[in-house]
Each structure stands twice: as C-alpha cells, then as structure tokens.
Structure 1
C-alpha cells in the first residue's frame, strides 16, 4: 500500500504533472484577467460614448456672449450731418451710413476709416423718412419732402486679384426706379413715414403724409423680353381710411396692411385686392398710458415685433380661427427691462432680434425658443442708431455722444431651449402651439422646429406595438418549448426560431414596406380576423381534442402536439384572409379603409404602426424567446418533479413554481427585447411613413429617434444646431436604454433574491 501511495505521490510531483498544473493555472489566470479586461473595456467604451455625446451636445446650452471689440468716432467731414440710418454687410468689414444731406458713406467697421461716399440724387428736396429695415432686404427707400420717393440698392462684392488673393469688399450702389423719383403724394406733401412691399404686378409703395394720412402707389413693372428694358407705370391706390397713423407696414404680396394709431391701436387691413382694401379688425397693442415705441417685421415678414414704453417686446402674427378667418394674434411677450424700447433690429437669417432700451441696455432674444440669450447694460445712455450684421455676429451702436461701439456676438444656437426641444411651441403659420419636428426647408426664411417630443413619442409607440405582439408570443412559445415540448422536437424548433434573429433588419424592413404594408391594407378585415379566429380556433381545437377517447389521444406522444397545431394555424390564417373580402363587403361597404376614414374619422396610412408592430415584433421575438426559454429550461427539474409528486398539475407547477423561479430571466428577456425595439432603425425607416406626428393611432405612422438620426445626420451641417440636436437625440436614446437596463437589473436582482429559496 505504501508502495502505491509513494508511486502516486511521485507521479503527482513529476515534472509533466507540475508543468500541466502550471499551464492550467496560467490559463485560469489569463482567462480571469482577459474577462476582467473585456468587462472593463466595455465599461470604458460606454463611458467614452457617453462623454463624446455630451461633448457634442453641451454647446447647445452654452450661454451666448457679447464683447466690445473697438470704438471710434467719424472723421470731421462725416460729422457735419445727422446720420439717419446705417447697415453692415455679412463680412463685418464695411458699414454704410446715410446722412440727412443724402450722402451715403462707406466706412471701415473696425475703426471708422472712410472708404468711399456717394451723393444720392435728392434734387432740391430733403429726406423726410427712411424705410424701416427689413431682414434680408438691401433696398434703401427714402421718402422726400416734396412727396416723392427714391430707392437705391446696395451690394457688397468680395474682390480678388489675379493670383486669387483676397483684396477686400467693394460696395456698389445702384439707383432703382430707373434712377427717377416716384411721385407718392400728388399733392407734394412731405412723406413722414414710408414703406414698400413686392407685388405680383411690381412694387407697392405707401407713406404717411400730413397728420398721418395714408397714400399708396402701385409701381407696375414689365420687362421687354426682346430689349430687356423695364417699363414702369404708376397707379394711385385709394386707401379707405382717413385715420391718422404713426407707423405703417405691409405684409408680403400686400396681403395685409398694418397701420398703427397714436393711442397704440393697430388697424389690420385686407389689401390683397388693391381696388377694395377693407378693414378686418382692430387690435389694442398696449395698455392705457403706454405707447408703442417700435414696430418692425421679423424674418420672413410674417411676425410683427412691437416694442413698448414698458420695456416689453411682443410678437404677433396672423392665425386662422375655427371659422377660417385670419386674426392678428398675440403670441408671446419678452421683456428687456422697464425702460422704453428705442431700437429693434431683427436678425436676417434666424428668428431672433436685438432690442435696446433708452438706458442703453441691450438684449438679444429668440422668439421660437422664447429665450433671452443676452441681457447686458452696454451703454451709459440712450442709443442713437444700431446695426446688426447679417450673420448676427456683430453689433454696431452709436451712443448719445456720437461714438460708435462695435461688439462681437457669439450666439451659435439661439433656437434651442428646454421649451423648444420638449414643450409646445407656437410656430409662425400654426393655429396653436404644437410639438413639431421639421429641421429644414427650401426657404432661408424657414423657422426651424426642433421638438424631440414627437420623436420620443414615436420611439415608444413603435416599441409598444412591437412588444404587444412579440412578448406574448415569445414567452408563451418559450413556456411550451421548455416545459411541454418533447426533447426531440425541441432540438429542432429552438434553433430554427433562434436562426430568425440572424435575418438582417433591412430585409425585414424591405419586406414590410414593399409587401406587408400593401397586403395588410388590402386585407384589413383578414388581419383583425386572424387576431380573433386564431386563438378561438386553437382553444376550440384543444377542447375538442380533450373530448376524444383516451386511446386516440394517446396515439400522439406527449410533447408532439405541436405537429397537429402547425397545420391548424396555417389553415386558420388561410381561412381568415379568405373571409377578408366577404367580411369587407358585408360589414364595411366593400372598403374598410374608407369606412375608418369617413365613418369613424380615423386617418389611415398604408405604412403605419400596425405594419411596424408585425415586422419589428417578428425581429424581436427570437431575442425574447431565446433568453426566456433558457431561463425556463434552466429551472432545476427537482423543483418541478417535487411539485408534481405533491399532486400539482403540470399547469399549476408551471405557474406556481417554474415561472416564479425563471422570472428574473424572463424579465431580462423582455427588457433586452424592448431595448432592441427602441433602438431599431431600418424597419421603422422603411415600414412607416416616417412622419414625426404625435398620434397613438395604430393606422398612422411615426418617426423614431433612431430613424431620424439615420435620415438626417448626413444632411446636417457640421456644428450646426441641427447637427448637435441629432446628437442630443442619440444621447436621449443612450440614457433611456441605460436607465431601463439599470432598473431592469435591479428588478431582476430582487426577483432572484425573492425566489431563490424555492
């Protein structure tokens, strides 16, 4: 015996065995460290993704800034005459100044150095009014003291030499109206206020004369296509009111005319037909004792910005009511301070504006976001003039001493705020506040709509309908496969179902969009019949099967009943779609879609949430099924055998013992399937109308966060608000998945702890 033990000890201590033990220990240590490194790598990768998303998103919420770059005074030659208006070009290099003597001075925007000047043809008249600046309009329209008007167009061209080197910006002045002064008031009265608007027939000019009476002239312009000459003619337009007004603005295509009275009441005229201008309604803009100090158009000339003596700026635009009538409606009010608003300058490319009050306090606002980007006291007193650069990157102010102050503005994302991203916003042209996503348009005057709410809603809607279909089928299938199905059948069925997960989602989306959507539209009664006939048919078959003699039922071994169910399911599905057309003729007058739309008022789109539910549910079923089936099959057989031995039926054992024990795994399967449904892109992209609407209707489409990122990321400009908001959508998806998975893990741990004693 001692010889055997000594031999065994020698064998165990042999170099071969020692080397094998060392190699095994090395493999164990290597595997342990490799698994740890892999786990930490996943954590680091997820953390880096999170911080990268935050890096791209944080500039959206960065505060705007304004800093003084320089200050200067004009040369003596330019100080002799009062400056009436000034404006800049988009390179921020040149400022144009118009003096009361009719001289147009071009100076350097940084130091005021004179560049050039041009005398406008005033003849013997004086400038009595200058058209209020309109975003995007380079026309300088002047009303003269003799009842006439002249106009010049200003352009700025970047010059290059022969080597392609940039030389600078060259201003150019072009006289409009064929270089002539147009008679606006036949009586020759001074034009105290002047406005103009393009017309389908030419250009409509309007002015205030005398004590505030309105005069209008239509300049008809026709181009000779042979000679290229423009023929012009003047037609006097009769304005129906003799009320005294202080300000006058005309909407695009002269659809509406807004005339402001001394008492702060605004008359809105329908001026589409210049032969029959009618007063639509009158609106009170300010409370008694207050006055309107400024009234300008915002970008696109759809909104009125009204500044008052209380430091408020209010936005108005036309809204259609329930009677299909247009009314000028107060939309929102922004406040700068308590002093009167002296200057309002609308941005030329965004829905923002600059307001300066009588104390020199400057505010930069955005109406869409209802956001105050900047509120700073920049001057010591009342400003005389101000000019905002076309790109809203520079602000030039002339203070009460005649000194020009130049400020650099950094405000890249003014249209983003918590309200514009998640709340209801009242956009121009809409009848009420809405959740809307519309990131781009063909027009530069477009108001971006960046509400993530319809995208988040669409994501949850698609996931809900997909889970509504997939969870019952997958879990019930897992229960049957793991607990009732014969092992020989299980080894064949389970791999086939799991193989479905390898099918590319782009194939499923292609199939759903090109075949499933039109098929379901043409067989709507059959689709709903399947949901009723199939379960009733299976239950009926089970009841009838239980009534058969035992000798006949025992011919089919336990766990092989699925062989009988497969042809039954195929037959019931065929029967449902065969009865689709007769049911449609019998119950829905031959057209169920028309019945839904006209009789029930439910809108129907061919590619809708129901199609997504079927297609995406098919994609999610293998994931939920596989994990749930493994969890159910992994329940120790001793538990189920003990329950059966104590007299419980198989169903009682499944419900009371197996399901509670496997509940952590089943819950994990559902959560993983939900994560798959939330993040799905191609199926939703191809199987829905991809419209970002807020509607739970199963017959309408949606747009999800993931699909929106896939569609628009390639079209967004690098660093733009649109680009960063798409990253914000990705961050929302990331956080949603992280929170759901974290909560799911906590619930799973509690379930595991609760049922671990079984």
Structure 2
C-alpha cells in the first residue's frame, strides 16, 4: 500500500500591513537622510560662501574711490584785513583760520563764514614775509622790513558750558610779544623750524641771507626757559622761491625758480657748509612750491609743468653719507597753482590752473580724487587736520568741501609691489603696520607675509611628507597586524595634541636647545638615516636562526634602542665636533664665515615643530589609502612572481595614489593655515629670505597678532581682512587643484 503526500510551497505575501508599514517607514527614513545630507552639505557650502562674502565686504572699501562734496560757500571773512596768505582749520572742522597780508589772524565759522575773532598785527610795520613751521605745530612767523620776526601760534581751547561743546580760538606768542632779531636787512622770504632745544629761523632779503638759532635752556633755580640767540650770514643764492629747514634742524634747503636746490649742513653752526647742489626740475619747468610731507622727511616739489616729485635723504653705503634722492612723482597736464599736505597721513592735494583739485597718497602713488572745484581763479587750498575737509579760496570767496577719503594709502602696487619708503635705501617689500610716532608711514605689503606662509609650509612639509608616507607604507603593508593595531592609534593620537602646546615647547624649549646643540642637530639629520640603513643591512646579514627569533613584521621595535643610542651619541659628540671643525662655535661660523644670519627661532625650528603636527594627518590618510588596496591585487602580483617591493611600488602605490595625494594636500592645507606654532616658534619678523636659520611671519600668525590691536574700519583693519581673504583663496585654489589631480589619478588607476 502506498501513501502519497502533497507538498505545497507556502505563498509569500509582500503586501502585508506590517511589510507595507515597514517599507513606508524605511522610505521615510531614506528621504529624511537624503534631505539631511543635502541640507548639511548645502549649509557647509553656504557657510563657506558667507565667509567669502563677508571678507569681501570688509575688503572692498579699500579699493573704493574717494568723494568730495561742497558743504559751504561764502565771501572771504574779514576781507578788509587783506589778502589771504594761509588757511587752516581746527580739529573738528568747525572753526577756520586765515592769515592776512596785513599780519592779522582771522578766525571764522566754517559753516557760514561768520567772523569769530580777529587778532590784528601787534606791529604797525608792514609784513614783508610769512612762513609756516608746519600745519600740525600751528606755528607761524611774520617777517618785517627792519629784520625782525614775530613768532605766533594759533590754538583752540575746548570747553563744555551747559553740556555743549564750545571752541574758543586763541593766538599765543611762544617767544614773547616782542619780535626776534633775525637779520639786519628787510626780509623777503623766511623759514623756521622749532624744536625742544632750539628754534632756527632763516631770513632772506635782496642779495642777503642770514640764519638765527635761538637756544632754549631751563634755569634750574627759577625753572624758567632762558633764550639765547646767535646769528650769522649765509652764502647768497639768487632768485630764491622756497626755503626749508629739516625737521631735526640739521639741513637747510634753498631752491631757486629754475629748480636748483642748494643743501646746507647746519650741524656745526659756526661752520655752515654747502653740502650739495641738486636739480629738482625737468626741462624748462619753473618751481611753484616746495614743502615737507608729514614727518619732515620727504620734500614735495611742485612745478609749472604740473609735476609733483618726492625727494628724501638716502644713505650711501660706500660713503655713509646722506643724499637727497628723487623717489617718485605724479603729473597733472597743466601748471600747478598750489599744494596742500595732509596733517596725519602721507597725502597731498594739488590745485592747477583749471581749478581742478587732485588728491594723492605719496606712499601708494594712488590718485583718489581729480575734480574741478572752481573756475580757475583759486589761490589757496588747505586740508582740515583729519583730512576730511578741504578749504579753498578763489575770486568768489571761500569754500569748504567735505572729503570722504578713508584708505588712500592702499593700492595693489603698495600691497604686492616694491615701495621705496622714507629712510630706506631702496624699494622693498615691507610689512610694518604701526609705530610709536605720529609721523609713521604705514607699510602694508602682503608679499613678505605670503612668502613667510609658503616658507613655513615648505619646511614643515619637507620634514613631514617623507616620514609620514614612508611610515604609512611600512605600517600598512609590511608591519605585523597586531603591531599595526597598536602603532596606528598612537600616531593618530598625536593629532589631538594642541598646537599651542607644540608651539610653546618649540619656542621655549626646542629653539634654545637646538641653538646650544646645533652640531648635534645636523649630525642627527645625517647619522640617523645612515645608522638605520646600516643596522638594517647588518640585520639582513645575520644567520636566519638569529633573525627568525623576531617574528615577521615586528622588526621596527628593534630600531627604538638604535635611534636612542644614535641620538645620544650625536649629543655627546656635539662639543667635540664644534671644537674640531668650527672653533667651538658653530653659530659664529655660520654667521661670520658663511655670512648667513642666524636667529634662535627660525625656519628649522618651525619645520620640526609644524612637521610633527602635520605628520599624523598625512600618515593616517595615507595608511588608510594603502591598507584599502584590495588584497587580490597584491596576491595576484605576488603570484605572478613579483617581490613585495615590486608589488608595493608598481601596484599598491599607484592604486593608492589618489588617497596619498589627498593626504599631502590636506597636510599642506594645515601647514599653510597653522597659527600657534609659527606664532610662538618664530621671531614673527616679516622678511623675505629663504634662509633656514631666519624666521618669518605668516598670514595666519599676523592675523592672530594684529587683529586684536587694529582699529575697526581702519586701513590696517581692512588690510588684515584682505590677508585673511588671500589665505582663503590660496586654500581654495590648492584644494581645487588637489581634487582635480585626485580625480585624474582615480580615473587612471581605478581600473587596476
């Protein structure tokens, strides 16, 4: 009897309520994950773009043009007092002042021209000469036919009655109300320079000239200032247009209408000598005016051809003598009528025959304004102390213009090109954003900072790349798995070490240690690689029964005592090496014999410290890239008869090259943007020298140092943002190139 059974396969239902609910939940999770990833990625891109736009927002005002706008216009205040010889304004641009040909000082409201006060000439004699010491000192002098000079100073007292600001102009007589005898002839032209110890006045008449020095001495009993005068004649120069005394009262400059300048040395008052003769003008131009730029270092010369040239003393290395040297010039197409200097910046304004006012900055040679402000009958122009206002007098009256000119000292040529700064022997790339004196010429060249950034990154990568990549190759391919699991986390843990700690150790410990053991440092760089290779060679020559005592892949542990021993040996022999080859002072040998400057905190220190910080990043990414190469590729290569080294160089490394290249680029990005190590381990000196024994200043370190000290909205502040933008663009370009190369390598070796 047979029994048959029917086996039926159970039907699978994929549309049960539970499975439908599960699919809906999974689809919802997928959509939410996709949305989250998209939002996160777009947020990162948006954040980067916002950073870029914010940097541009802060930088763009540097290169925006200036503007000028008329605020007031009225008849010349107290016109009956005579023609204007000089115009000025006080700090707030509320009270103006004009000096008249009758010797009167007229104070007036800049807003409407109403006369506030008039101080008439103390003497009844006619004023025959007039001179201004400088706009900032507010010291002026009147010369007379009897050879006397009256020194006057205009000042402004500020008070707050009933909580409102009140500006009261006053006229002071710092050398008394009695004139000083400066010559025994009628004075036609004069110049003065005041200092803490003495006052120097030069008077010039028809065929005669004289110089008077008024010395100031404090009486220790009465604590009063006692004055003593001494005068002497000067060699006569005909057809004199302008006379200047240097700020330190060492030199006298006398210029004729034809542009011939005579320079006299005043250091020995009893023996004043002619130092030099210089031609200031080109071709047939005539001298219009000659005046000092802020700081009394640069002389600005305006001529009838529309040219304004800048001159200052440059020291000759051969003779160690200073010579007045032409530096740069600007040009207007027609003859100039007047020249006005800014009181707190290296800027100046020109007024030409057409009534066009042009404003320049001497350092950047940037023209910020070129506008017609009058019909061509203007006679005088003058800046307000803050350079935000301009007084102009023409045949119609007096006009006040508001000037918006915030960043004239910045231009592309000043940022990236060589500039000849005052006191320098030649054009240079220089960063020096501040100084202790008010006459400082800002130097905003980003070139040394960019150079320092690349220099620090170069030396860091020079140390980090070979060690990190070679270490990653051995760890991923040759090292025993058990040892790899211990070594890799330890090296990656190095990345968590704060860079401020590395910078602190590099600056305060490693830099002086390296300076004291310079011979040992270079010995280690040579002895250590040679010693390791020699040990490896000797190990390979040992009998197999000895070498097999160490398991395969654990041999690196044997190098630890070798490295320690070789390092100790180099340190121990360092004094012997110095005595034997460098007369006991290797640093002196480098400086004196090789002529190489040596700083304790230098690029070598930065290379070691920053290389130590970059190694974990490059090592970790490279090791992962090599370890991720499919085992089938290596096994296939070995099966075809290739050695381990051939497999590594011809199969593994090409396959892992996109990851290795990415590791190097990421490491370079970190080296370029590193702040604390270069801030603490270098001298932060913005110099352009590839010398490994000198320091540098990087863009990132410069931002960390100077951003907290800069005034918000100032040129310095915005140039620092420009430095940040340059760093941002540099990183973006490097990353873009890196990604392009990585994709190319991936496409090339992805088929292996």
2:275 to 277, 280, 285: 280
Partners of 1:138 and 1:420 in 2: how far apart? 31
Q: Is the 8 A contact 2:132 2:139 kept in 1?
A: no
Number of the residue aligned with 2:566: 572
Distance 1:80 1:276, change over 3 A: closer
* Structure 2 residue 72 is matched with structure 1 residue 94: no
Structure 1 position 230, deviation (Å): 2.7
Moved more, 464-473 or 254-263: 254-263
* Structure 2 residue 69 is matched with structure 1 residue 67: yes
Q: SS of the residue aligned with 1:254?
A: coil
Q: SS of the residue aligned with 2:85?
A: strand
* Structure 2 residue 606 is matched with structure 1 residue 606: no
Partners of 2:128 and 2:605 in 1: how far apart? 67
Number of the residue aligned with 2:206: 210
Structure 1 position 90, deviation (Å): 1.7
Q: TM-score, normalised by structure 2?
A: 0.97
* Structure 2 residue 350 is matched with structure 1 residue 355: yes
Structure 1 position 336, deviation (Å): 2.0
Distance 1:703 1:96, change over 3 A: same
Partners of 1:751 and 1:287 in 2: how far apart? 62
Number of the residue aligned with 1:336: 332
Structure 1 position 453, deviation (Å): 0.4
Number of the residue aligned with 2:34: 32
Partners of 2:85 and 2:49 in 1: how far apart? 58
Q: Is the 8 A contact 2:685 2:695 kept in 1?
A: yes
Q: Is the 8 A contact 2:133 2:192 kept in 1?
A: no
* Structure 2 residue 740 is matched with structure 1 residue 746: yes
Number of the residue aligned with 2:86: 85
Structure 1 position 743, deviation (Å): 0.6
Partners of 2:367 and 2:305 in 1: how far apart? 17
Partners of 1:499 and 1:53 in 2: how far apart? 34
Moved more, 356-365 or 199-208: 199-208
Structure 1 position 74, deviation (Å): 3.0
Structure 1 position 231, deviation (Å): 2.1
Number of the residue aligned with 2:10: 5
2:693 to 679, 696, 699: 699
Number of the residue aligned with 1:201: 197
Structure 1 position 243, deviation (Å): 5.4
Number of the residue aligned with 2:288: 293
Q: SS of the residue aligned with 1:301?
A: coil
* Structure 2 residue 144 is matched with structure 1 residue 144: yes
Structure 1 position 14, deviation (Å): 4.5
Number of the residue aligned with 2:170: 172
Structure 1 position 194, deviation (Å): 1.2
Structure 1 position 334, deviation (Å): 0.7
Number of the residue aligned with 2:370: 375
* Structure 2 residue 134 is matched with structure 1 residue 134: yes
Number of the residue aligned with 2:263: 268
Q: SS of the residue aligned with 2:271?
A: coil
Structure 1 position 544, deviation (Å): 1.3
Number of the residue aligned with 2:3: none
Partners of 1:568 and 1:24 in 2: how far apart? 58
Partners of 1:536 and 1:543 in 2: how far apart? 11
Partners of 1:706 and 1:158 in 2: how far apart? 44
Structure 1 position 202, deviation (Å): 1.7
Moved more, 175-184 or 514-523: 175-184
Moved more, 476-485 or 146-155: 146-155
Partners of 1:25 and 1:402 in 2: how far apart? 83
Structure 1 position 305, deviation (Å): 0.2
Partners of 1:80 and 1:686 in 2: how far apart? 64
Number of the residue aligned with 2:51: 49
Moved more, 61-70 or 593-602: 61-70
Number of the residue aligned with 1:593: 587
- What does 1:356-755 correspond to in 2, within 5 Å? 356-399=351-394, 401-755=395-749
Partners of 1:531 and 1:423 in 2: how far apart? 38
The alignment's C-alpha RMSD in Å is: 1.6
Q: SS of the residue aligned with 1:648?
A: coil
Q: TM-score, normalised by structure 1?
A: 0.96
Partners of 1:554 and 1:246 in 2: how far apart? 98
Paired residues in the alignment total 746
Unaligned runs of 5+ in 2: 1-5
Q: Is the 8 A contact 1:238 1:275 kept in 2?
A: no
Partners of 1:135 and 1:751 in 2: how far apart? 66
2:251 to 251, 256, 260: 256
Q: SS of the residue aligned with 1:131?
A: strand
Q: SS of the residue aligned with 1:374?
A: strand
Q: SS of the residue aligned with 2:248?
A: helix
Number of the residue aligned with 2:234: 239
Number of the residue aligned with 1:118: 119
Partners of 2:70 and 2:403 in 1: how far apart? 9
Structure 1 position 17, deviation (Å): 4.2
Q: Is the 8 A contact 2:128 2:144 kept in 1?
A: yes
Partners of 1:745 and 1:263 in 2: how far apart? 65
Q: Is the 8 A contact 1:134 1:298 kept in 2?
A: no
Q: SS of the residue aligned with 2:263?
A: strand
Structure 1 position 242, deviation (Å): 5.7
Partners of 1:696 and 1:235 in 2: how far apart? 55
Q: Is the 8 A contact 1:198 1:253 kept in 2?
A: no
Partners of 2:632 and 2:462 in 1: how far apart? 34
Q: SS of the residue aligned with 1:191?
A: coil
Structure 1 position 269, deviation (Å): 1.4
Structure 1 position 555, deviation (Å): 2.3
Question: 1:303-327 CA deviation, whole Å, 9 max, x = no partner?
Answer: 1000011100000000001221110
Q: Is the 8 A contact 1:207 1:248 kept in 2?
A: no
2:322 to 312, 323, 326: 326
2:186 to 178, 184, 190: 190
Structure 1 position 145, deviation (Å): 2.0
